[in-house]
Structure 1
Amino acid sequence: MVAGRPDPEPGPGEVAVSVTAAPITPLDLLCASGASYFGVPSTPYVPGVQGVGVLTRPTPTHLAGTPVWFATTAGMRPGDGSMADRAVVAPEDLVVLPPGADHTLVAALGLSAVAAWMCLTATGRLAPGETVLVLGAGGVVGQAALQLARVAGAGHVVACARSDAALERALRLGADRVVRLEEGDDAGSLARRLGEAAGPVDLVIDPVCGIPAAAALRTLRQGGRLVNLGSAAGDEFAVPSAVLRSRSLRVLGYTNNELTADERGEALLTVVAHAMAGHLTVRYERAPLADAADAWTRPGRIVLVP
């Protein structure tokens, strides 16, 4: 529901932000549903776990009007988030943006692109020339991962997705080969097609889990790594002991919640720099904040703007 509320006043140790862009993310939907491991949120509350805006008042270190990206704990802990004209934020959850950064694109990328970058680099340990397989390439994480894999030095990038549109977009964004996930695929049949397209894989970025992850695991070469950061295709996937042991594979989990504020800020600025250089973009749709109720259930990445 969209409703009028008084502008929030920053308390001790908080800063005020005039919001210019707020994405609707899967985490927002999950938190609002009450089905996340954070439990049922305290209501009423304003959702929005991240956003972009400008400081509305000067701080000891920054002038009013300074552009910032910010994180909130809306839906995870009591308090309001980014889907409003104004927000109050803890200073440690701010990242000052470079001049000229596109606020709506930064909002669309946000923590999804941060996760993609960290899965490739800090967790996945991508080395120059390696082959990367990106599952769920139609989503924001997948779109970002296939572009950032190239930026990080991958020699060969293969994308897997369900729709022709997503696969065509993946090719435009730099994938060398694409594989469509078909209805009725089992791990064996999908693994064969993935192997034909990718050859032996060094690193799998997996935001989907389920059958695609089980198939991708079978494509990994000796010492290969699979990094899981989501469950869009299922909560579990089979890990055959013989495959795991015979190739000394690594199955790794990732969550942005493990990042310190400094790590998150550094990764976010890295992502923004690549976007400003023209190396990174994602498909998203703008929607007026007043239409948030309708936009809430639309597919794809929606960014609310004033």
Structure 2
Amino acid sequence: MPPRSMRAALIETPGSPAVAGERPEPARGEGEVLVAVSAAPIVPLDRLCASGTSYFGVPSTPYVPGVQGVGLVLEGSADLPKGTPVWFATNAGMQPGDGSMRSVAAVPEHDVVALANGADPVLVAALGLSAVAAWMALTFRGGLTAGERVLVLGAGGVVGQAAVQLARSAGAGRIVAAARGERSRERALALGADVAVPLGDTASDDVADVTELADRMRVDGPVDLVVDPLFGAAAAAALRVLRPHGRLVNLGSSAGETAPIDSSTLRSRSVAVLGYTNNELTPAQRAEALAHVVAQVRAGRLTTAHEAVPLVDVTGVWDRGGDRIVLIP
């Protein structure tokens, strides 16, 4: 008997938006968990892989995109019985195989994390690994301690929004949010930042522009820790705002792959520039971080701007900027 078909988003041509279509419903393989997908976010990595321009190479098409999702176990194991709410990861676009943007997904058990009951699956999907990155950049890599001052760059993005809230719940003494748009700065203040400053031209490497940006960031005085998903001029300016022995944790380069950092700033303050990626996390670390994210969601202390969209409408929202899009199969 042939497998049943299911709803799915499909990348048919690298560089073109995903389209709504159908895919055979997968069977559970050895070591896999079958998940009924409740929500699948569209994240930058999905678009990058689907573009065919990433360092992973051009993906084989057609394939179902989606590197993460949230759902309920249909067929699992003793540790993941039927009905368990879960978050899961896939290698869609990076390796052959289908991702999360479909009604049912077959996922290796080591890429599935059980979630506590009671959290909104759409919100958890919207936050996902972005919130994990924010939390681990603050704590695991950044060593945040209660009372320290934190500067969050790119506070309008999902990572930045999460970093503002998670820094507050972790006991940060003062939080400065830096964001380009006025709406993003207002949102950062509503989420718990003490002050919000405009970023300006983050693509400039002019010394005068970097100095002006640093002066804006220093509105509240020096800071102990910078969360930086931008790099570029914003990172160079933020380094000038650090206290002696302060730390900047870089977890992205949306403003530029290089930054005009001067040696005198590094040496005069003995500051540390630290890199972070979710890829270095062990499954246990990732599960623990996700558990913290979900606990904060359930407590009403963590959210992000997002929009739930039916999967059938994927083409129209594939390239949309702004609030995170979460597809509902």
Assess same fold via TM > 0.5: yes
Q: Is the 8 A contact 1:131 1:198 kept in 2?
A: no
Q: 1:227 aligns with which of 231, 239, 249?
A: 249
Cross-structure match for 1:269? 291
Aligned: 1:49 with 2:67: yes
SS of the residue aligned with 2:20? coil
Residue identity opposite 2:111 in structure 1: D
- In structure 2, the partner of 1:100 is 118
Residue of 14, 35, 39 corresponding to 1:17: 35
Counterpart residue identity of residue 98, structure 1: A
Q: Which residue of 2 aligns with 1:253?
A: 275
Aligned counterpart for 2:229 among listed residues 184, 190, 207: 207
Distance in 2, matches of 1:50 and 1:122, equals: 22
Of residues 312, 317, 323, the one that matches 1:290 is 312
1:43-82 counterparts in 2 under 5 A?
A: 43-82=61-100
**What is the aligned-residue RMSD (CA, Å)?**
1.2
Q: Which residue identity is paired with 1:187? A: V
Q: Offset at 1:200?
A: 0.7
Measure how far apart 1:183 and its partner are. Answer: 4.2
Match of 2:177 among 144, 152, 159: 159
Alpha-carbon shift at residue 37 of structure 1 (Å): 2.2
Tell me, yes or no, if structure 1 residue 29 matches structure 2 residue 52: no
User: Aligned pairs, how many?
Assistant: 305
- Structure 2 vs 1, CA of residues 182 and 61 (structure 1 numbering), >3 Å: closer, same or farther? closer
**Which of 122, 129, 144 is equivalent to 1:126?**
144
Amino acid of the structure 1 residue aligned with 2:123: L
CA distance in 2, matches of 1:151, 1:278: 11
The one-letter code of the counterpart of 1:124 is: G
**Residue of structure 2 aligned with 1:192, choices 215, 233, 236:** 215
In structure 1, give the amino acid aligned to 2:328.
V
Partner of 1:56, secondary structure, is strand
1:258–1:58: structure 2 CA closer, same or farther, 3 Å change rule? closer
CA contact (8 A) 1:133 1:198 kept: no
Given that residues 28 and 75 in structure 2 are in contact (C-alpha distance below 8 angstroms), is that contact kept between their aligned partners in structure 1?
A: no
Matching residue of 1:303: 326
Q: Unaligned stretches of 5+ in structure 1?
A: none
Give 4+ residue runs of structure 1 displaced > 6 Å after superposition. none
- Is residue 198 of structure 2 the alignment partner of residue 175 of structure 1? no
What is the identity percentage for the equivalent residue pairs of Structure 1 and Structure 2? 62
The TM-score with structure 1 as length reference comes to 0.97
What TM-score does the superposition give when structure 2 sets the normalisation length? 0.90
1:218-255 CA-to-partner distances (Å, cap 9, x unmatched) read 10110011111111111110221111011111001111
- C-alpha separation in 1, matches of 2:270 and 2:308: 45
CA contact (8 A) 2:149 2:175 kept: yes
Structure 1 residue 18 displacement after superposition: 0.6
Distance across 1 between alignment mates of 2:21 and 2:37 = 16
Deviation, 1:33, is 1.3
Which of 233, 236, 239 in structure 2 is aligned with 1:217?
Answer: 239
Give the Cα separation in 2 of the matches to 1:164 and 1:47: 33
Using the alignment, how far apart are the partners of 1:279 and 1:59 within structure 2?
A: 32
Structure 1 stretch displaced more, 260-269 or 176-185: 176-185
C-alpha deviation, 1:36, in angstroms: 2.2
Using the alignment, how far apart are the partners of 2:262 and 2:240 within structure 1? 9
Distance 1:157 1:35 in 2: 36
